Amino acid sequence: MRIKRGITKRQRHNKVLNAVKGHLGARRRHYRYAKEAVTKAGINAYIGRKQKKRSMRSLWITRINIAARNAGLKYSDMMHGLDLAGININRKMLAQLAVEDIDAFNSYVEIAKKHLVNVQ
């Protein structure tokens, strides 16, 4: 008795074709092109997850820099001052404070300024 694979093959094809819903033309209708589209989409999604982390960090740094300059300090000086003070707060939290609670952010700026004066 031979083994026929029609059901397995159809299930595998349907899984790929369901993954390309929203694509246009042959990429949605033909398995060969749909498989290529799914593979490429997976690669781009992997790359995009890494790029998202980079762009978010850049955004946080920009927000911190703007708020720090409004308080009279450059971003690099502020981060150096916080490092000298032994304060380990990440850029995401600092950016959040800069946007939502400027008074708390300014207290960090003052701490950084104080420790920068002691070094110079």
- What is the domain partition of the chain in residue ranges? 6-119
Q: For the chain, which ranges sit under pLDDT 70?
A: 119-120
| pLDDT at residue 120, as a whole number | 58
| pLDDT at residue 3, as a whole number | 81
The pTM score is: 0.77
| Residue 51 burial by Cβ neighbours in a 10 Å radius (0-12, 13-18, 19+) | exposed
Give rounded-to-5 percent helix, strand, coil for the chain: 80, 0, 20
60, amino acid identity: W
| pLDDT at residue 119, as a whole number | 65
Check if CATH label 1.10.1900.20 holds for domain 6-119: yes
